[in-house]
Structure 1
Amino acid sequence: MATLTFKQKLWLPLVVSMIVLAAVSVAAALMLRATRMEERKNDLVNVAHVGLAIVEEYASLAHSGALSEPQARQQALARLRAVRYGENGYFIVIDSTPRMVMHPMKPATVGHDLASVADADGRHHYVAFAQAAQAPEGGFVDYVFPRPHTTQAIAKLGYVVRYAPWDWIISTGAYIDDIDSAFTRSVYASLGILIVLATLLAALVAFINRSIVRTIGGDPTIAARIADGIAAGNLVTATHVHDAHAQSLLRAIAHMRESLIGMIARIKHASDNVAMVSGEIAGGNVDLSARTVDQATALRETAASMTQITSQVRQASDHARAANELAQRAVAITDRGGAAATQAVSTMRDISDESKKMVEIIAVIEGIAFQTNILALNAAVEAARAGEDGRGFAVVASEVRSLAQRSANAAKEIRKLIQNAVGRVGDGAELVEQTGATIDEARGAIAQVMEIVAAIAQAANEQTAGIEAVNASVAHMDGMTQQNAALVERAATAVESLAGEARQLQTAIAVFRIGETASA
């Protein structure tokens, strides 16, 4: 294949196809001949078995006694002699000697020994008949024999079957020259059609080959050589496509080479610029990364300070809240103390009023004691006047006066005690009133302190919320700064990778040779 030219390679499929078609045509003709031969053999087998059936029919008549055996043989031969099929088909009967028993076309040969009889090719076909008939199913025999009323021997196929009880070999045959003639005609017709097809296909292939050559523009080896040069990076190889068609492959390759030269030149220039710019970006990213890291550190420290301040302010807010709660408890205590002082003053006044009532009662008791004393004096006077009769009454009057004096003395002592108690109760009431006033003043002061502490707690809460918001903002700024630092690092890595890719691109582009003019 390597030694063939491009045009020879284009014609090779047609030649191979014609050879294959010729082989297929001959094979089809041979298969058709074999099919016809098989059909002819089947016909001979069927006809021979019809003759055998006739013989068996008369043999059964002889066996049943309807006919004698000689009569049965005679009538069977008559039936076979009269049978005709096709154009020239008939039966002959021989025995195993071989000897002719019946021949409808040559009755003179009946009874003759056929062992020495041979056909035109020298084959002893009757001996072959006798040998083939020994098989249970009979057999075929090839020989040559002239047609009736002719002398030219032609190919004939015979089939024999033996009826053993009578030692009859029933033979029939068919000429096969028509099958060979049909085979020859089929081969000639196929070859004629093949020649016509070959002529048409040759014209079509010639037209297609011319179109292919015109489409390629020359031998494909030239295109392969140019493509190999381009694949190796050699873009300055001359194409020599002046004679090629404008729409041919070689012209397209030449146009591709010119386009590649311009494109590679532009890519080379762009890769140089990318390498330079990526280097500058890499340097800037390094500085930006360092500044971003410093900023992230400062923000982290600020966040830590804000966290500490937030903790202190939250602690102050907690203390202010605790002080507010204590002030509220103190107000509650002073309220209870004021209520108790007010209740004590009211109780002192009630006691003072009751002491005055007791003084009045004691005054009544003193009056009663005074009057009792007077009555006792009067009773003593009257007892003295009564003499001995009033002595007992005088004793009673003396005792009553003594009791009245003692009651008057006790009432005086009780008055003194009540007066002292009333004085002390008055002093206690004044002290309780002063205590209530002091408690009221303390409650007012504590209320002011509570208001101030509440304002301080509210301010501390607001400061805590504000500082927490600032702390959250600083933490968010810290996170964003760290993300920016990570992005800057990734950008630096990407730029370094881009610089590496640019260097690889420069290395890859350097493989191509495009000439000084195109490079400039």
Structure 2
Amino acid sequence: MEFYAQATRAIDALAALERELADGVEAEWAQRSATLEREIAIVAAGCVLVLLVLTYGLVAFYRATVGGLHHLNNAIDRAAEGDLTSDAVLPGRDEMADMSQRLRHMLRALSELVADVRSAAAVLGHVGLQLVQDSQQLAERTQSQAASLEQATSNVRAVAETVQANADSAQDIRRLTGELNRETERASELMQHTVGGLGSLQATSQRMTEIIGTIDGIAFQTNILALNAAVEAARAGEAGRGFAVVAAEVRRLAQRSQEAANEVRQLIAESAERVQGTVQEIRSVNEAMDVLVRGIRDIAARIGEMADASRQQSTALREVVAAVGDLDKVTYENSAMVERTTHRANRLMERTRDLDEAVHHMKLRQGTADEAYGLVQKALEHIRAVGYERAVEDFHDKSGPFVDRDLYVFVLDREGTYRVMGLDRAKVGTRVHDAPGINAEQFLADAWHRAEQGGGWIEYNILNPATGQVRAKSSYVVPLGDALLLGCGAYRSALRTEADGRPTSSALDD
């Protein structure tokens, strides 16, 4: 029983020990549980905090990366659709911000490139149009010239044939004139021989006159002798009657001889006068024949010269016909070449229009030459609609239709003074010479040269007020009366230089 009591006590002690140990373990477990709960709460709070930080980081990363990419994608999509005016800049200094800056620079460079292409295409289109018009006019004039040359060739050929016929006729006339000259010289010799014969006849007539005078003297003496014989017969009476009869007959014969001698003398005198007149007439005719012979000889010489000249002219005209024929051939070749040039110029215009249409839909940061040309035409219509003074006010309105990005209307006088400066009214009254980078004298010379032709393009270097940089500019200018010109230009992305590297100004459609 004592053993059972001891065992009972041992069991009770062991149970008390177990309860004590259990209470200690429970207290330790409770303490440890509290500690673990505190640690779990701290860890949970830390996890939640980490999760919140991670969530914030993920959201920030999403917004910084995906949102930036979305913004960049939108800018790239707009650029792909032709809108190069979007601003793709992201804030910050990270890689996305750097990429946005690079994209911005690329869009700006692409906008400048497209603007240069559109401006070049617009200017080339205007110049090409003038080239086509000039080529068409040249083709028409060349064809007209070819037709005129063909007509001239025909006329020159006809003239050559006429001159050849004239040369042949001149040769025939030369031969006939030579024969006439020889016949005239023979007639002159015969006339001189006749004059010599008439001189002998005149001398013979004079000699007959002298003989008749002698016969008349003999008749007079015979008559006196007959009178003396009659007187002596009367003195002799009957013995001298027969002698008186003979004396009377002798007297009658002497009287008849005297009368006949008087008639012959009269006839010889009349013949002598007629011979003398004939001699004078023949001498006059001889002198005329001499003049005629000299004239015919001179005519023969001149006809010979004319024949030689006609022959030379005929030869020269044949050469002219050949040369004109060659010129006519060259003219037709030039006409064909002009037609080919016109065709190629039209093809160039088509390619230029295709190039312009390929980039015309793009929205750019800066203006282009075609827009500048349109702005000039709009400004002219506005001046005609509202008058110059009112239009000047509208040209200076920066929110109006005549100031577009870096495009603006300007008006200059012949001294280079700004009467209108659309982008900066404060420059009205200043001179082109004050603008940096421009060759003012060359600019004014080119601008007024184009204005006096009715309008045209010029290119020069000048300060861009929108960017503050000196750049090349293509401007279209038109006259406003005799003292003013109106223009608008598009800036280029680079400077215009001469072959030696110096800035220059020039008219684009020279």
TM-score, shorter chain, exceeding 0.5: no
Q: Which has the larger radius of gyration?
A: 1
Q: TM-score, normalised by structure 2?
A: 0.34
TM-score by length of 1: 0.34
